[in-house]
Structure 1
Amino acid sequence: MHDHHLQPLLHDLVGTVMAPTAALSGADGQIRSRGVQGLFHADARVLSQARLEIDGREPEPIGHAVPAPGVARFVSLARWLGDRDADPTVRVDRVRTITPGAMREEITIASTASAPFTCTVTVTLSCDLAAIEAVKSGGAAVPLTPEAAGATLTWQADGTRVTATAASGGADAATLRWDVTVAPGERLTMRWEVSVTDAGAVVAAPPGPREWSRPQVEADDTRLVRLAGQSLDDLESLRLTEIAAPGDTFLGAGVPWYLTLFGRDSIWAARMLLPLGTELAAGTLRVLARRQGVKADGETGEAPGKIMHELRRHEFAVEGSGFRLPPAYYGTIDATPLWIALLHDAWRWGLPEGEVAALLPALEAALGWLADHGDADGDGFLEYLDTSGRGLANQGWKDSGDAVRFRDGRLGEPPVALVEVQGYAHEAAVAGAALLEAFGRPGGSRWLDYAGRLAERFRERFWVDGGYPALALDRDKRPVDALTSNIGHLLGTGILSAAEERQIAQTLKNPAMSGGFGLRTMSTDDAGFSPHSYHCGSIWAHDTAIVISGLARTGHGELAAELAQGILAAAETFGYRLPELHAGDDRLLMGRAVPYPAACRPQAWSAAAAMAILHAAAGLYPDVPGGRVTVRPLPGAPLGALAVRGLRVGGAAVDVTVDGYGTARVTGLPAGIELV
């Protein structure tokens, strides 16, 4: 028997989200006092139960939908009421609406019975104000005792106040109550709501409308249309801002564990959304620049110029594990070069020069981190090592403890130099040089030299006998020779020659890597492979989308399309709300993607992956400062004809259509921009 807590599973829960508030319930709409179910607000569970009963019985669920951002509808039956016929005559619709800091529900009983009936409707509530890390570790929390007054229940502790009110009903103990009579043909609606006042929150909802366009998508493959629609809904529900600086928006990483600022996740999501406008990128860049490291601190991982990893209201500690992250944690090796790349790409898409110029000091500090702090041992590669003993042992995007493995399954020992991070560093150095030169700042040649030397060292040290780059170099500078998706992130970073890009594309095309619903994180031929390993065999939509983008940019459209088809098939399995990850099973095993049972959903970079796939298919590559836009769709339109109307280039609305032969047409480019 297990003597430790297990992380709750959540793959079959329904998320209703409007950040920083999210509800997780069963498919029947019930929020039960178990697992990760609950109403969450800014890293705390503010309701641990919201259970609907009619005459002491739970309605029988028959369906649910998430029709709009922050809205879910649950349909059930009360067959013990109404006529005693084969057909049900009493239906219950439960519509849940989340707004920042609040949840409202409408419970409608509709009768087609031949006679009136009387019933008692109750919603039983619990509140434990459990911290998100306690919920994640499977721990239990003691419910608080509410104060009841009229139709209102109130819980409060540690600066947080939760208030639930039944409209036209009553409240006693921990239950909201309505005694009703329903006539034949009548639809009777009961309403209740809960609101949260939270003095300790560090994130909040942005005050204005969304920062990006919502393009109209038409496609021969209707899965693209449905995936784009659901993904844009999910992205809208994940918008956040810092309470201390409400003018800048970023995307919270995901529900429920990561609904806050995450450097890497927020950067990648903003980067994938650049075809819809530069405002989100600008907000993300500024938020992270304000928290850019200024001192060396082994406990937090901070270093001068470094971009942070995550932000919490308090220490994130998993009981009994020794794992403790400070509220502002910098344990990431890749967020800093990715921040530089985002700034550069946003500039190319048309971020106004004044906004770019304001971020140049942060750019120079981030570039300085590459050479002065990111390379601790001076070997010319970026590497990481958790010196606190309480932080993340692995600090790339694959940050689980067993993510860095040799082909025979042995773990690589830190400090670790990850393969994709060297590509990010090369791209960041070249991008930084371009920005410095364009804005008349010194130092551009230094970073071009840095990139050139890095590419030479990389070529000498990372390639292994199988004809692909190693996952990493370990503490002894040995190539960690597992075959992983990480090598696909190198495509388009400039660190590879054209021949090396072809070699990587050919390697990834092997069914051991691409035979699932997307790109596996590790080859099935590796000893460490498991389809349900978090980072050693599973499939992540954002990871696959990054590789699709690189393949498209470097002229390997056939594999890009094959991987996109895998993600589209997975999206169909999951109702077009792509989870954080899914299992790496072969496509022929079940004919549909298998869930990873602890995957978060919605997840910002999974939702943004839909835009990355659309962008690769349309092939629009702008250089607004250079006065030109290149259009290079996937050859032969392997995803079918499509039209994307309402993209943004230099602030102008741009339409791209690709016919069934792969010929593209672009309209709406701003004046002075030449189409290449």
Structure 2
Amino acid sequence: MTQQIPQQTQSPAQSPDLPAPVSASGGQPFVHDAVLVLSAPSFVASRPDGDLAAPVDGFYHGDRRFLRSLHITVDGGRPASTNSVLQSADRATFDAVLRGTAQQTADPAVTLLRERAVAPGQFTETLSLTNHGSLHARLTVTVTAESDFAAMDAVKSGATTDPCEPRGEDDRLTWSAHDARMTLTARTDDTAARTGVSVLGPRGAFTFEVCLAPGESWTCALEGRAATDTPTPFGPAAHQDRPWAELRLDSADGDFTRLVGRAEQDLTRLLLCDPEAPGDMFTGAGAPWYLTLFGRDSLWTARMLLPLGTKLAAGTLRTLARRQGRNVVPSTEEQPGKILHEVRAETQEIDDGTRLPAQYYGTIDATPLWICLLHDAWRWGMPSTEVAALLPHLEAALNWLVEYGDPDGDGLLEYIDSTGTGLANQGWKDSGDSVRFRDGSLATAPIALCEVQAYAYEAAVAGAELLDAFDRPGADRYRAWATRLQEAFRRTFWVSDEHGPYVAIALDADKQPVDAVTSGMGHLLGTGLLNPEEEATLAERLLSPALADAFGLRTYATSNGGYNPLGYHIGSVWPHDTAIAVQGLARAGFPDHARRLAENLIAAGPAFDSRLPELFAGTARSASARPAPYPASCRPQAWAAASSVALLQALLGLQANAPEGALTIRPVASRLLPLTVSGLSVAGHELTVSVAADGTVSTRTSAPVEVTA
């Protein structure tokens, strides 16, 4: 993810009775209090009262904002907001009362209900005024709107954008600019209401004169539509073709049940499809900032959702394989076999000097993660014909590890921004200040990240297993390469402090360990890179208060210089990062550690209405009853949502090896029990798992696997 923070790295790199127009003061807009309703590639972000009024608010399609403001006033004043409810990922309602209107007592008499729904390329909003009192009400309802067609990078940087002047006719307002058009239509069945359309500078307005007898209601339907001559890079996925069955969880922990339910809804509406093969679906990374294909994010999301089936993994793998690097292109950092970082509609120009091409390959970890996903999907039962079709791409990706990922031949994967305008850091912690020494000073590239070595080791071993299984040559080469990487890692990454040994976050340009204590250690567990004694050492360090006394795992320990609980990668908690550590702890044989960390993250759910954000503050649980939001965080975010399924898999001890007909379930004793979950899938067959309070397991599946519990 590209975050708008100061870059401190070696590489350079956003009429009087009408409401005031939206303005931006500069800097990335805050979004933590926005109500976001989506159906990819479209979404609406608004205030809790339903108005589109803040710098981030608007109706977006693709990477463009088609409507930037929408206000409802009654008799020149704003209704008093009383409630907002996210009914589902694509629907929300907003309740308000009209103070002093048709009242006989202090009790409000007239209410306004706004019901919003989003579909790809459009949104609808139904306004309902109801007179609950005993007096007649005469009201003037005004709907005002503006459009600016701002590009997402401009919105994200906080840039001020000029509005477009609309054209008004009959019941419609229309805005046009370049290749884009926005229409807003207002319809009401009440012929007694007089409708007027007016244009005042950049604002368009609808006006209705409404008379309500006691007990009467009046409704108006607003319909917004976006149109563009330039198609978005990826299209909407057909909801009926969702690549997993409905997931149902009944757990003793209600917070966790709600977390999983909300996540499944959000993930469904984050789905996009590849226009080159519309049946291939993947998840956009998150809204508002990243609703497109991201190699790393989409791969991790698909990997975490493998217990729901392999269709999403297959679609993600194929979508990325079609765009796998074929040539050496320095301007985009493309290399043969490399998996890309992100795809946008157009080049992003960011105000810190960063310039990212529309198809950008500046990532060190997407390629090994692609290999790991292919291997894991095969083990979960991805059809062998589909796996076989991807083997040429596997061979190209494995070759990239050896020939391009390690340019200096020291046995480790490393990166440096070769363009001078790309991402300075190219792992998942890709902000400019994320790779630091314990004293807080910044590391200098080339950088070799600890977690990337684990991904690469796991990928080389897993890729070799696939080559052997499908009678392809080359497996011995990659196993030998993995052994050399393991030896180099053991020689160079281990450091010590007053609490004992641990793994540094990275090596710098001088091959010196960058010795900050970070969550990156959690990504090493269960990958095979470490021996059991090393895993035990890291398991204890991960659960130390400096990293884990928050509502999840901090990215950066409180003992490090420069720690900031609201630092993007230097003290915050990322749900997916915590979930990866939970899975690693469970795989490495530390179930109690996994449970404790998982329960910390689950406890964060209620603070965010069960919709976990991209990240949140790393405040200690002892200091606050609920975690503080990171103000610019995406919510929903695909891998944050998928983290709940990753926790479920880890706490069930669920592992599949469909090629050998095996399924293992070893639940961790936790407050989730008893639980029953249906909608899981292995080898294309539905799987239901029940775990009693005493840990007794029962399953129901027609899959050709032997269940070991």
TM-score normalised per structure 2: 0.93
Q: How does 1:549-564 map to 2 (within 5 A)?
A: 549-564=583-598
Shift of 1:513: 0.5
Shift of 1:666: 2.1
Cα distance in 2 between the residues matched to 1:35 and 1:511: 37
Larger mean CA deviation between 464-473 and 168-177 belongs to 168-177
2:657 corresponds to which residue?
Answer: 623
Q: How does 1:147-546 map to 2 (within 5 A)?
A: 147-168=167-188, 169-173=195-199, 174-200=204-230, 201-207=232-238, 208-319=240-351, 321-466=352-497, 467-546=501-580
Paired amino acid for 1:172 = S
Contact 1:166 1:177 in 2 (8 A): no
The answer to whether 1:25 aligns with 2:55 is no
2:695 corresponds to which residue?
Answer: 662
Cα distance in 1 between the residues matched to 2:694 and 2:196: 64
SS in 2 for 1:51: strand
Cα distance in 1 between the residues matched to 2:393 and 2:411: 22
Contact 1:82 1:117 in 2 (8 A): yes
The answer to whether 1:16 aligns with 2:49 is no
Larger mean CA deviation between 455-464 and 655-664 belongs to 655-664
Contact 2:333 2:362 in 1 (8 A): yes
Question: What whole-Å deviation, never above 9, does each CA across 1:356-403 have from its counterpart, x for those lacking one?
Answer: 111111100000000000111111100000011100000000000000
Question: Is the alpha carbon distance of 1:672 and 1:543 closer, same or farther for their aligned partners in structure 2, counting shifts above 3 Å?
Answer: closer
Shift of 1:225: 0.7
SS in 1 for 2:664: strand
Shift of 1:339: 0.4
Cα distance in 2 between the residues matched to 1:97 and 1:573: 24
Contact 1:628 1:674 in 2 (8 A): yes
Contact 2:302 2:316 in 1 (8 A): yes
Question: What whole-Å deviation, never above 9, does each CA across 1:77-115 have from its counterpart, x for those lacking one?
Answer: 112312131111111110110000001000111211102
Shift of 1:4: 8.2
The answer to whether 1:608 aligns with 2:608 is no
**How many pairs align?**
672
The answer to whether 1:90 aligns with 2:110 is yes
Cα distance in 2 between the residues matched to 1:380 and 1:61: 60
Cα distance in 1 between the residues matched to 2:267 and 2:650: 19
Shift of 1:170: 4.3
SS in 2 for 1:130: coil
SS in 1 for 2:396: helix
Paired amino acid for 2:278 = P
Shift of 1:465: 1.8
SS in 2 for 1:548: helix
Shift of 1:176: 2.2
Cα distance in 1 between the residues matched to 2:227 and 2:278: 17
Contact 1:618 1:664 in 2 (8 A): no
SS in 2 for 1:464: strand
SS in 2 for 1:176: strand
Contact 2:378 2:387 in 1 (8 A): yes
Cα distance in 2 between the residues matched to 1:152 and 1:81: 29
Shift of 1:177: 2.6
Paired amino acid for 1:653 = E
Contact 1:44 1:129 in 2 (8 A): yes
2:72 corresponds to which residue?
Answer: 52
SS in 1 for 2:218: strand
Residue 652 of structure 1: which of 685, 688, 697 is its match?
A: 685
Question: What whole-Å deviation, never above 9, does each CA across 1:31-53 have from its counterpart, x for those lacking one?
Answer: 01x41111111000110001111
Question: What whole-Å deviation, never above 9, does each CA across 1:562-620 have from its counterpart, x for those lacking one?
Answer: 11111111111111010110000110112111111111111000000111111112222
Cα RMSD (Å) of the superposition?
Answer: 1.4
Contact 2:72 2:141 in 1 (8 A): yes
1:65 corresponds to which residue?
Answer: 85
2:191 corresponds to which residue?
Answer: none
Question: What whole-Å deviation, never above 9, does each CA across 1:330-354 have from its counterpart, x for those lacking one?
Answer: 0000000000001111111111111
1:566 corresponds to which residue?
Answer: 600
Cα distance in 1 between the residues matched to 2:670 and 2:464: 35
SS in 2 for 1:136: helix
Question: What whole-Å deviation, never above 9, does each CA across 1:49-94 have from its counterpart, x for those lacking one?
Answer: 0111111111100111111221010111112312131111111110
Question: Is the alpha carbon distance of 1:199 and 1:241 closer, same or farther for their aligned partners in structure 2, counting shifts above 3 Å?
Answer: farther
Cα distance in 2 between the residues matched to 1:297 and 1:593: 43
Question: What whole-Å deviation, never above 9, does each CA across 1:223-279 have from its counterpart, x for those lacking one?
Answer: 111001111111111111233432211101011110000000001111111111111
Paired amino acid for 1:106 = T
Shift of 1:674: 5.0
The answer to whether 1:7 aligns with 2:28 is yes
Cα distance in 2 between the residues matched to 1:328 and 1:277: 29
Cα distance in 1 between the residues matched to 2:603 and 2:666: 25
Contact 1:202 1:244 in 2 (8 A): no
Cα distance in 1 between the residues matched to 2:25 and 2:402: 43
Larger mean CA deviation between 612-621 and 399-408 belongs to 612-621
Shift of 1:171: 2.3
Larger mean CA deviation between 110-119 and 661-670 belongs to 661-670
1:128 corresponds to which residue?
Answer: 148
Paired amino acid for 1:147 = R
Contact 1:264 1:397 in 2 (8 A): yes
The answer for unaligned runs of 5 or more in structure 2 is 1-5, 7-23, 189-194
The percentage of aligned residue pairs carrying the same residue is 48
Cα distance in 1 between the residues matched to 2:25 and 2:425: 23
Shift of 1:638: 4.8
SS in 2 for 1:85: coil
Cα distance in 2 between the residues matched to 1:64 and 1:564: 29
Shift of 1:474: 0.3
Shift of 1:445: 1.4
SS in 2 for 1:253: coil
Paired amino acid for 2:595 = A
Contact 2:247 2:264 in 1 (8 A): no
SS in 2 for 1:218: strand
SS in 1 for 2:241: coil
Question: Is the alpha carbon distance of 1:465 and 1:359 closer, same or farther for their aligned partners in structure 2, counting shifts above 3 Å?
Answer: same
SS in 2 for 1:588: coil
TM-score normalised per structure 1: 0.98
Contact 1:624 1:673 in 2 (8 A): no
2:3 corresponds to which residue?
Answer: none
Question: What whole-Å deviation, never above 9, does each CA across 1:109-147 have from its counterpart, x for those lacking one?
Answer: 121110221212221110000000001111011100111
The answer to whether 1:75 aligns with 2:130 is no
Contact 1:162 1:197 in 2 (8 A): yes
Contact 2:42 2:60 in 1 (8 A): yes
